[in-house]
Structure 1
Amino acid sequence: MRAIFCHFLGLMLICFALLARGQQLQLIDQDSRQPIPGVSILNTAGTKGVVTDSEGRADITPFRSLAQLHFRHPAYYSASFSLQQLKEMDYVVALRENIVQIPEVVISANRWEQKQEEVPQQITAISGREIAFQNPATPADLLQQTGEVFVQKSQLGGGSPMLRGFAANSVLLVVDGIRMNNAIYRSGNLQNVISLDAHVLEGAEVIFGPGTVLYGSDALGGVLDFHTKSPGLATDASLRTEGSALLRWASASQEKTAHVDLALGSRTLASLSSISLSDWGDLRAGRRGLSHFPDYLLRTSYQQRIWQRDSILSNPSPHHQLGSGYSQLNLLQKLRWVPSRQWDLTYSFHYSNSSDIPRYDRLVQRSQQQGRAGELRFAEWYYGPQRWMLHSLQSRLQRDKGVFEEARLTAGYQRVQESRHSRSTGSTLLESQSESVDVLTLNADFNRPFAAGPTLFYGAEAALNWVRSTGSQTDIDRGISSPAPSRYGDLGNHSLALASYASLHYPLGERSRLTAGARLNWYQLESRFSTRFRDFPFQEIGLQTTALIGNLGWTYTPNPFRLSLLASTGFRAPNVDDMAKVFDTAPGILTVPNPRLGPEYSYNAEATLGLEKRSFRLSLTTYLSLLDGAIVRRPFQLAGQDSVLHQGERRQVQALVNGGGALLAGSSLSVRYSPLPQLLLSSTLTYSWGQELQSGNALRHNPPLFGQTQLRYQRKKSSVELQFSYNGGIKFADLAPEEQDKAYLYTAEGSRPWWIASLKGAWHPLKQLELQAGLENLLDTHYRPYSSGISAPGRNLYLSVRTHF
């Protein structure tokens, strides 16, 4: 940890030594203070103009003799200023966003910038301005605040997004062009999205539905593409300097967060340095709404070791979820070098390290009745520090002719370190399992526009994973440790994925466009086991498979309507966690490896109908997916036995298997209406359904009906929003079998419906200063989102101070 921090400080000092100070004309968002590219700067007649670059900057030297300049952008209100006014503003122009308009460009839909109206997929773009206003504590909270992504939490230090009936390793996480999913991303609920720093994000996109043509395996439910801030270049000989700092506090978890970032830039070299420190205490849940279920979902008792004995103590405040707090450090360093008009190179270093993260749902699990009754099962259950490190180098090459117009080559190396630690109540043995994953990725992406109008996108990808898994057992009284069974193969695990793809975007006319693509995938996996701790009927598991997938989409945009149709196929190859895991899933159940597990394939169709006017936008998307060979957890036999002896207890054996098939369907509705320039009403509603065809069982990652409605009032220096979030329920008998095995997560009725109201505001008393406050869950409702192992925050007051310099 100390070496990492010293390395980060060293990079910062090197960057600062290379650069000096300066000031430029820049266009920024009035609220988020983020740069605005693509702003037209015009004279009064409109005969002379320039456009701001990707950093929102432009050279206005040709306009020095003019009395007034006009600034225009399709997503912002126009503004006009004299040269004297620009000088008084230090040549920084803040534009006010037209809050009902949708972004014209999305970046991640096909790894290239493209107008949203040309993309057949359903996409939700989250702007830097919206991120700044919502002020999320983690990226998981940011996704939840969109109202279009359902987020599950097993503990406070978590957040597992669900998209169209898929979650965990069936949803692909991408940061700055690098896929985060690795060989041990599990099929249950996955919390790795919190490794990212929410306070350094400048934008994100949620691509719903299979993105496997462009991204390969793991994107059955969709893609979550995050973009961190980039260092900007100066437009003249002086040096560009800018930065921001944030302090945030929240009452429900006693959160304390500090963040600072600093960017320096010359004409060819730029640097960005960022650091965030966060600390969360034990989370307080709401006090209202559980009168009919006083014994469920509350922390009525807790474990504490006193005089070398585990004692069960009464919690005087059952709404305080004791044992849920944690802390986290995030670092980011970027270096950008543009040696010529053709080349643009960026090196990025990401680092995240947490404290121990208590697995709260296991700390409240009991020993009987599927975890509902009896004594507390575990005295300790926590994840060790979750460390994630990423080095990446991205180069962009532009050419005027040839087989491509622009090439993007991205190389990445990641190291992920995770561990799990548990001790049963009354036992002195602490069981530990540790994993270290090294990931190498290489992407080559190209585009080639043709004179007739079509554009061809093509490329190749390689991803190599190595997994080292170990286990240990420690007697906490005597302090003696010894080797123990590992979570995965103890003799080594690896996977290799290779792929190539091509996607053609063909205009059929002024308002119509066709999109077609295909991807060829090759995948190999191997996991090896010793006989030291487990007598499996196999010592090696292997998989080798190929898959050809594709999509065909059509968009039609007769003003003011938009219609898009999309048909696609997708696949997901089992990873090391799917095939080689040995895990204590629930009381009395043990998950074991399945050497016969194969890929799952999906066949999808979706349609989107939209209506877009200046002050009104409506979008309705409906989808249907057939999943063949769906990977589900079911009873299993190991060497002909349906139960085994594990840690002195007889356990029922389960494994991930390929089911006969599943059907998924759903719809989402989004509405934005601005009756006045300062007022915005927006609402979302999402419904998803999924069922195994053979058994009729529900699929576990389909949440109940959910949505959000917001009313925002925005003036030049302030914004206020009233927000309503709501969620339907699922009866216990209608839950998926995997969820019924974890009955302690639910009330006797199942997952109960809920709604909450929140009030948020932001104020800019000075150009460089922003004050934010919010009161979430105004009525202090006690609620627990579907499948979550920890109740949501009760009434929560948050305060933050943000400064820009």
Structure 2
Amino acid sequence: MKYSNKIKGIVVFISFIFSQALFGQEIQVKDIVNNRNISSVNVYNDNQSKGGITNARGKMDISIFADDEKITFRHISYLPVSYTKQQILENKNIVYLVKETAELSKIVISVSKWQQNKKEIPQKIVSIDSKEIVYTTPQTAADLLERSGKIFVQKSQLGGGSPMIRGFSTNRLLLSVDGVRMNNAIFRGGNIQNVISIDPFTIKNTEVILGPGSVIYGSDAIGGVMNFYTKTPKLSWSEETLVSGNANTRYASANREKTGHFDINIGLKKWAFLTSVSYSDFDDLRMGENGRDEYLRPEFVTSINGQDVVVNNSNPLNQRFTGYSQLNLTQRAKLVSDDIWEFDLGLHYATTSDYPRYDRLIQYRNEALRFGDWYYGPQRWFMANFQTQKKGNNTYYDNVKFTNAYQRFEESRNSRNFQDVILNVTEEKVDAISSSLDFEKRFNPKIKTFYGLEYVYNKVHSDGYDKNITTDEITDAASRYPDGATWQSMAAYASLEYKPNPKFTLQSGLRYNHIFIHADFDTTFYPFPFTEANTSTGAFTGSIGFSWLPNKWQITANIGTAFRAPNIDDIGKVFDSEPGSVIVPNPNLAPEHAYSAEFGIQKKIGSRFDINFTAFYTLLDDALIRKDFNLNGATEIMYNGELSNVQAIQNASKVYTYGFEFGFAAKFDKRTQITADLTIPRGEEEQADGTSVPLRHVSPIFGNVHFIYKNERFKFDVFTNFNSSITFENLAPSERSKAYLYAIDENGNPFSPSWLTFNAKSNFEINDNINITAALENITDQRYRTYSSGISAPGRNLILSFNYTF
């Protein structure tokens, strides 16, 4: 009996030792201040041949590492730390991280497509992480950019948002989602709203490069690059299945927004899945009580017994026919088969209801409202993105990423003149296929290279017809674009990072891009003097810059070139760009080239003050600008029943943009701080006679000031947003002709007035799972309209948001 008990004791002891060896190497990563678990921490060894990510509970098994192997822990919001496994086990399997307060130490991906420390980047980058996204509670991705305080956003309707960066916008800015360019062959020079297709609830972080990015991203990346990185599925890293997720509801009083969101993550040891659903319903937007009478909505068109009539608006503050709804679906799957291979599939779908173009619905002709209808059909976007990553550590690369994506864009325009029975419809669809192969290689501690190849193919489908709304009879009409047109891009790039010492980094790059365009023109409706367009054109772009870090300073400088090749919108569009004008095709276009310079200084004064300053300048040569044109000698043609001035996109100008960006932060103690941002952009377009006129997409001076108090679970922010005025003399000629968008000065001329709002926002974390945000924006109920926008901004607006994490 004693012998049997002794055997049992030995078995129990051996089992205990074995279990400790097997399960005792699961570690916990925590915040050193509040002891909270930290998920999504990257954990890896020196050569990154082994690694993983902490799960939703901040745990990970580190048994794959040797006892004396150094393990690094890195998270976007914390300072990185490194310990040997033995040290971690001796510390009771707990690793503490310290919150990162210095903006310079953040990790960014945008500049090279691989992780780099922000302090090594010679360009200015705006970073918005997931925690800030939850706090700002944006209705759309466009609002997310605007609320950063560093990017100006124009809106023609509630379902819109067109960013402006350093004097450029629309097709001179590049949108990217998870490394895939969203710009397609019909991105136009006018304001676009494709950014609203991106669901802000699925965004993990956003990085905006202010300035050119053509070396890595090719055509269109002249004024900036907006990179949206969506949430990735989280693995369990243990035998236990990880189930986590979020549920969110939001309400806004100004447009009676009703939003619901739900996502769930299921993580196994090698597989992980993330499913996300978001739905928003927006009613008509209410403008503010106090401001310019020109912005009021005194009357609108409605249909009574099948006839258009103009009726008085019982509440002129209500911007009738601005509401719409939107649905976003996301499905992601991730497979980590071993320490070398990783596979990631992302499926994204977004669709809106019909949504009116408000700026056209308030347009008058002969002192009467011009349109009975003007609305966009559902804007639909689908993307399937399959990405393969491999870790190497061989002669040619340390890491390689192969990205293949398919996108489908659908949009339509529907317009009908007042009391006309004919509804003109144009429908566009674009199929976009892209492949990119990106490499990262470190040759030694001082030299790292990034290089790759890219191919993009777009095919445009375009149709036009007239529909009699009384009889439903449909007849053929001119399409907006040449149907079946194609746009292709092939490119190769290389970038070098040289770091001779910890305080100095030199980064340079070179890219060659070749563009092919083919379009066949239908002369049934317009007597074009050509039947096809064939373009084959190439461009070299390059950049070089440095980041220098003397004591508590960062000094950066960067010079570079960028380009934009003409696309199908430039070459083949037929559209009424403004009242009384129509754009016609022009197949004889060449790329426009940009030459940019940037200089920045950031200084940390003691432990409390931080200031930064950036100066920028860009020359755009052979700029593709809308100018007067003639079609077979005719300077006017009939378009939709109206004699219209003929215009076309042409390589007709030089454009100059320049300006300054300032930032300031002061910390009074650990809980209280003040931040401020100010952007001063300028720009002009050179005319044929040598004179210059103001540039259309240069925003007014804008900025913000925030007074912030926060502790472990509570954050309170009182802030102002402001814009300067743009006088009639400083309005671009194309804007002067749109008086219905603007206020009227004492001389009867349109201008954009200055404005200032006061706002308050608070966030309260009830516990680790429940988060409540409440905001009161535009407290004084100002009535204002941001520059070039067709819709007035929200009046006093109460926003409530509830988030539950499990």
**TM-score (ref. length: structure 1):** 0.89
- The match for 1:680 is 673
Deviation at 1:671, TM superposition (A): 1.6
Q: Is the 8 A contact 2:104 2:117 kept in 1?
A: no
Matches within 5 A, 1:718-737: 718-737=714-733
- The match for 1:12 is none
Matches within 5 A, 1:594-743: 594-612=586-604, 614-694=607-687, 695-743=691-739
Q: Which stretches of structure 1, 4 residues or more, deviate above 4 A after TM superposition? A: 23-34, 38-41, 54-58, 60-63, 70-79, 91-103
Mapped pair 1:231 → 2:223: no
Task: Work out which of the residue numbers 485, 490, 504 in structure 2 matches 1:493.
Answer: 485
The letter of the residue matching 1:422 is S
Distance in 1 between residues matched to 2:212 and 2:502, nearest whole Å: 28
* Offset from partner CA, 1:230-272 (integer Å, 9 cap, x none): 1011122111111000010100000000000000111110000
- The match for 1:553 is 545
- The match for 1:797 is 798
Mapped pair 1:349 → 2:347: yes
* Offset from partner CA, 1:645-677 (integer Å, 9 cap, x none): 222221111111112312110110112222211
Task: Work out which of the residue numbers 239, 254, 265 in structure 2 matches 1:252.
Answer: 254
Task: Work out which of the residue numbers 489, 510, 513 in structure 2 matches 1:521.
Answer: 513
Task: Work out which of the residue numbers 572, 580, 603 in structure 1 matches 2:572.
Answer: 580
Q: Is the 8 A contact 2:438 2:450 kept in 1?
A: yes
Aligned CA distance change for structure 1 residues 544 and 298 (closer, same or farther; 3 Å)? same
Task: Work out which of the residue numbers 433, 439, 442 in structure 1 matches 2:426.
Answer: 433
Q: Is the 8 A contact 1:464 1:496 kept in 2?
A: yes
2:682 alignment partner, SS class: strand
The letter of the residue matching 2:314 is P
Q: Is the 8 A contact 1:592 1:655 kept in 2?
A: yes
Aligned CA distance change for structure 1 residues 52 and 395 (closer, same or farther; 3 Å)? closer
- The match for 1:315 is 313
* Offset from partner CA, 1:394-430 (integer Å, 9 cap, x none): 0100012220110000000000110000000010000
- The match for 1:201 is 203
- The match for 2:267 is 265
Q: Is the 8 A contact 1:100 1:674 kept in 2?
A: no
Give me the identity figure in percent: 39
Deviation at 1:615, TM superposition (A): 3.5
Mapped pair 1:53 → 2:45: no
The letter of the residue matching 1:310 is D
Matches within 5 A, 1:205-216: 205-216=207-218
Aligned CA distance change for structure 1 residues 463 and 61 (closer, same or farther; 3 Å)? closer
Aligned CA distance change for structure 1 residues 329 and 103 (closer, same or farther; 3 Å)? farther
- The match for 1:157 is 159
Q: Is the 8 A contact 1:33 1:129 kept in 2?
A: no
Deviation at 1:25, TM superposition (A): 4.3
Aligned CA distance change for structure 1 residues 503 and 303 (closer, same or farther; 3 Å)? same
Q: Give the greater-gyration-radius structure (CA).
A: 2
1:508 alignment partner, SS class: strand
Distance in 1 between residues matched to 2:701 and 2:243, nearest whole Å: 47
Distance in 2 between residues matched to 1:93 and 1:586, nearest whole Å: 61
- The match for 1:122 is 124
Q: Is the 8 A contact 2:53 2:60 kept in 1?
A: no
Distance in 1 between residues matched to 2:364 and 2:77, nearest whole Å: 54
Distance in 1 between residues matched to 2:168 and 2:511, nearest whole Å: 21
Q: Gaps (5+ residues) in structure 2?
A: 1-25, 66-71, 82-92, 746-750
Distance in 2 between residues matched to 1:564 and 1:600, nearest whole Å: 27
Distance in 2 between residues matched to 1:116 and 1:569, nearest whole Å: 22
Deviation at 1:616, TM superposition (A): 2.9
Distance in 1 between residues matched to 2:580 and 2:523, nearest whole Å: 24
Aligned CA distance change for structure 1 residues 669 and 40 (closer, same or farther; 3 Å)? farther
Q: Gaps (5+ residues) in structure 1?
A: 1-22, 42-49, 64-69, 80-90, 369-373
Q: Is the 8 A contact 1:163 1:221 kept in 2?
A: yes
Mapped pair 1:422 → 2:448: no
Aligned CA distance change for structure 1 residues 40 and 321 (closer, same or farther; 3 Å)? same
Deviation at 1:508, TM superposition (A): 2.8
Matches within 5 A, 1:341-490: 341-368=339-366, 374-451=367-444, 453-490=446-483
- The match for 1:82 is none
Distance in 2 between residues matched to 1:245 and 1:341, nearest whole Å: 33
Aligned CA distance change for structure 1 residues 421 and 71 (closer, same or farther; 3 Å)? closer
* Offset from partner CA, 1:752-800 (integer Å, 9 cap, x none): 1001011011112222111111000000000100000000000000111
The letter of the residue matching 1:130 is E
Deviation at 1:74, TM superposition (A): 9.3
Distance in 2 between residues matched to 1:564 and 1:241, nearest whole Å: 44
Deviation at 1:527, TM superposition (A): 1.6
Distance in 2 between residues matched to 1:521 and 1:797, nearest whole Å: 48
The letter of the residue matching 1:772 is T
Distance in 1 between residues matched to 2:283 and 2:158, nearest whole Å: 9
Distance in 2 between residues matched to 1:151 and 1:560, nearest whole Å: 33
The letter of the residue matching 2:199 is D
1:697 alignment partner, SS class: strand
Aligned CA distance change for structure 1 residues 30 and 167 (closer, same or farther; 3 Å)? farther
Distance in 2 between residues matched to 1:424 and 1:757, nearest whole Å: 40
Distance in 2 between residues matched to 1:762 and 1:32, nearest whole Å: 18
Distance in 2 between residues matched to 1:472 and 1:351, nearest whole Å: 27
Total equivalences in the alignment: 749
1:362 alignment partner, SS class: helix
The letter of the residue matching 1:658 is N
Distance in 1 between residues matched to 2:180 and 2:215, nearest whole Å: 16
Provide the aligned C-alpha RMSD in A. 2.5
Matches within 5 A, 1:769-788: 769-788=770-789
Deviation at 1:104, TM superposition (A): 2.2
Aligned CA distance change for structure 1 residues 709 and 103 (closer, same or farther; 3 Å)? farther
* Offset from partner CA, 1:613-634 (integer Å, 9 cap, x none): 6433222110111110111111
Q: Is the 8 A contact 1:34 1:128 kept in 2?
A: no
2:743 alignment partner, SS class: coil
Q: Is the 8 A contact 1:100 1:614 kept in 2?
A: no
- The match for 1:88 is none
Q: Is the 8 A contact 1:560 1:611 kept in 2?
A: yes
**TM-score (ref. length: structure 2):** 0.89
Deviation at 1:497, TM superposition (A): 0.3
Q: Is the 8 A contact 2:43 2:54 kept in 1?
A: no
